[in-house]
Amino acid sequence: MHFLKKVFISGNLNKVLPFLVLFGFSNDCISQKKEVSASEKIEQYINLSSTPSDLKKIEIFENDFPEIFKYYPNINPINPKVKPGLSSGFSSKRLHPLEGDLKAHNGVDIVAKENTPVYASANGKVIKSKFFNGKAGHSVELSHKYGFKTRYFHLNLFIVKTGETVLKGQIIGYLGNTGGSTGYHLHYEILKNGKYINPKKFLHIGE
Ligand SMILES: [Zn+2]
């Protein structure tokens, strides 16, 4: 940097400007490259299954890329240490329990006792925490890095506000039976770039 100082002191801006442009440009390129490789990593891990060798890869991912992993929604939202039991899985169409017609089920239903804590499955920001009468009930929607969103429906209570930042594993509310629900459970959805994806892929419970 010494030569830059000298050029500034001598007031010869014509000579230094091309260097400054070059510096700014190359920094942009480096940060873009980092972002792409993180997204590529995410794409690789989304497609992993629950076979022992794939679960090992997830473990390595967690250890080697802790910064990316914080934004990867792969914990069970009702108990980060245990694989969940499901009452209803992800499907493009299923018989809706209340309305009796075929509707898409865009998430999984995780059954647990009333007021079981519900955890954020990745670091993110609360984009909705409100009551939707007749459908989602008390619900929370989080936005995460790398195009992920997660949704938590039928809560008895949510304890986070819209705009608030949450951490992976932080309690955001308590399980309930509110809205269009027929029993105590958490309806849990994951979206990537606006498209629903099967949360089973992230809970590693197999098909
Ligand atoms: Zn559901």
- Could you tell me the distance, in angstroms and rounded to a whole number, from the CA of residue 38 to the centre of ligand 1? 31
* Domain range for 25: 2-47
In terms of phi and psi (left: phi > 0; alpha: psi -120 to 50; beta: otherwise), the region of 138 is beta
Q: In which band, very low, low, confident or very high, does the pLDDT at 36 lie, cut at 50, 70 and 90? A: low
What is the CATH number for 148?
Answer: 2.70.70.10
105 has a pLDDT exceeding 70? yes
In a domain, 178, yes or no: yes
Assess contact for 83 and 203: CB atoms under 8 A: yes
**What global pTM score does this model have?**
0.76
For residues 107 and 49, which has the higher predicted lDDT (pLDDT)? 107
For residues 157 and 24, which has the higher predicted lDDT (pLDDT)? 157
Query: What Rg value do the Cα atoms of the chain yield, rounded?
Result: 23
- Could you tell me the distance, in angstroms and rounded to a whole number, from the CA of residue 39 to the centre of ligand 1? 28
The pLDDT value given to residue 170: 97
- Could you tell me the distance, in angstroms and rounded to a whole number, from the CA of residue 153 to the centre of ligand 1? 8
- Could you tell me the distance, in angstroms and rounded to a whole number, from the CA of residue 141 to the centre of ligand 1? 15
- Could you tell me the distance, in angstroms and rounded to a whole number, from the CA of residue 66 to the centre of ligand 1? 31
135 has a pLDDT exceeding 90? no
- 100 φ, ψ to 5°? 70, 10
Kindly state whether residues 34 and 121 are assigned to the same domain: no
Kindly state whether residues 157 and 72 are assigned to the same domain: yes
For residues 59 and 34, which has the higher predicted lDDT (pLDDT)? 59
In a domain, 71, yes or no: yes
